[in-house]
């Protein structure tokens, strides 16, 4: 158990819909990262927040957005969903802002299925 929690575990929805994925980091961790894992693209970094502010952006679509709240939990919002958005979405947390030795601790993931 990494100490990172994600809800829900599974999500099934239809194309065009909007969903929100939630992540609670390990106690004391200030950084939250979101990754997408699909069969064809592998694990890809989406976005990072540090202490409430966006720190880095990766391959995140404009239809996707995220935020980190004062209690440090984070939400990833996915809108106008397409079939290709079906994937596992992982949240990770770390103590600092991304220093190269900063270990990232991953949650169990949310499996999103878009029908």
- Site for other proteins, rule CB under 8 A: 2, 4, 31, 33, 35, 42-45, 48, 55-56, 58, 90, 92, 97-98, 100-101, 103-109
Q: What are phi and psi of 84, to 5 degrees?
A: -70, -10
Specify the 3-state DSSP secondary structure of 85.
Answer: helix
| 64 or 90: CB nearest other proteins | 90
- State the nearest-atom distance from the C-beta of 15 to other proteins, in Å: 26
Separation in Å, CA 23 to CA 39, 42, 55, 84, 109: 22, 21, 17, 22, 9
Taking the complex as a whole, how short is the minimal distance between the CB of residue 31 and other proteins, in angstroms? Answer: 8
In angstroms, give the least distance from the CB of 12 to other proteins. 17
Q: How far apart are CA 80 and CA 24, in angstroms?
A: 25
Q: Considering the complex, what minimum distance in angstroms separates the CB of residue 9 from other proteins?
A: 10
Rank residues 18 and 96 by Cβ distance to other proteins and give the closer one.
Answer: 96
Peptide bond between residue 8 and the one before it cis (omega within 30 degrees of 0)? yes
Nearer to other proteins, 16 or 98 (CB): 98
């Amino acid at each position: 158990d990494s100490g990172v929690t994600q809800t829900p575990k599974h999500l099934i929805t239809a194309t065009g819909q909007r969903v929100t994925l939630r992540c609670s980091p390990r106690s004391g961790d200030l950084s939250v990262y979101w990754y997408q894992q699909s069969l064809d693209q592998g694990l890809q970094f989406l976005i990072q927040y540090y202490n409430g502010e966006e720190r880095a952006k990766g391959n995140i679509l404009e239809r996707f957005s995220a935020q980190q709240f004062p209690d440090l939990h984070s939400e990833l919002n996915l809108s106008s969903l397409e079939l290709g958005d079906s994937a596992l979405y992982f949240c990770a947390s770390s103590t600092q802002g991304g220093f190269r030795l900063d270990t990232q601790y991953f949650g169990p993931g949310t499996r999103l299925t878009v029908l």
